[in-house]
Amino acid sequence: MDPHSAQFFAAALAIGIGSIGPALAIGNLVGKALEALGRNPEAQSTIFTPMIIGIVFAEAISIYALVVALIIKFVG
């Protein structure tokens, strides 16, 4: 196996696996927030801010995976 193809495979694996968890977390988080808003629409301001903060934290994990994939691709 060519070393460059191994780097591309490792980078693809890093971003692929590293983005599955945050994608599931964001989907679950938004789904639960919409269920809560469906039950109690008056609580929008109470639900919206923690939902956005949770999305940001989950998205940060996928950005870490992207950084690792870029490091594998260009430095290795």
How confident is residue 23, by pLDDT bands cut at 50, 70 and 90? very high
Residue 53: both structure tokens together:
């903060």
Q: Given CATH 1.20.20.10, say whether it is the number of domain 16-74.
A: yes
Per-residue pLDDT, 4: 83
| 73 touches 22 (CB < 8 A) | no
Q: Select from 11, 22, 20 the least CA-distant residue to 66.
A: 11
- How many Å separate Cα 28 from the centre of its chain? 12
DSSP state of 40: -
pTM of the model: 0.80
How far apart are the C-alpha atoms of 49 and 28, rounded to whole Å? 16
* 62's tokens: 């996928």
Domain parsing of the chain, residue ranges: 16-74
